Amino acid sequence: MLDVFVCIGSSCHLRGSYDIIGGFKSLIEQHGLQDKVNLSASFCLGHCTDGVTVKVGEEFVTGLNKENCEEKFNQHILSRVK
């Protein structure tokens, strides 16, 4: 199981964490990864100035937004579980 934490700390929240959670949720369903990816919300991950931050396993991915959500998902999550 790959743990994915989306930061919902105040800075990331303001920059659209919930769009990323929603986007990741539907991408996980779309690819049938419900039993491979464990998506959770997290408090501040310590990268507040770098845009919405996500922790994938031990890796930090920063600068997520609605536009690049799918690309980052494919690059950092899909590639690790398929």
Smallest distance, ligand FES to C-beta of residue 30, A: 25
Smallest distance, ligand FES to C-beta of residue 13, A: 7
The residues in 9-68 that bind ligand FES, with binding defined as CB under 6 A, are: 9-12, 44-48, 53
Q: 33 or 61: whose CB is closer to ligand FES?
A: 61
Helix, strand and coil content of the chain, in percent to the nearest 5, comes to 45, 30, 30
Say how far apart CA 63 and CA 15 lie, in whole Å.
9
* DSSP string for residues in 4-28: EEEE-SHHHHHTTHHHHHHHHHHHH
Smallest distance, ligand FES to C-beta of residue 65, A: 13
Q: Say which amino acid occupies 77.
A: I
Residue at token pair 């845009």: 51
Q: 27 or 47: whose CB is closer to ligand FES?
A: 47
Residues that bind ligand FES (CB under 6 A): 7, 9-12, 44-48, 53
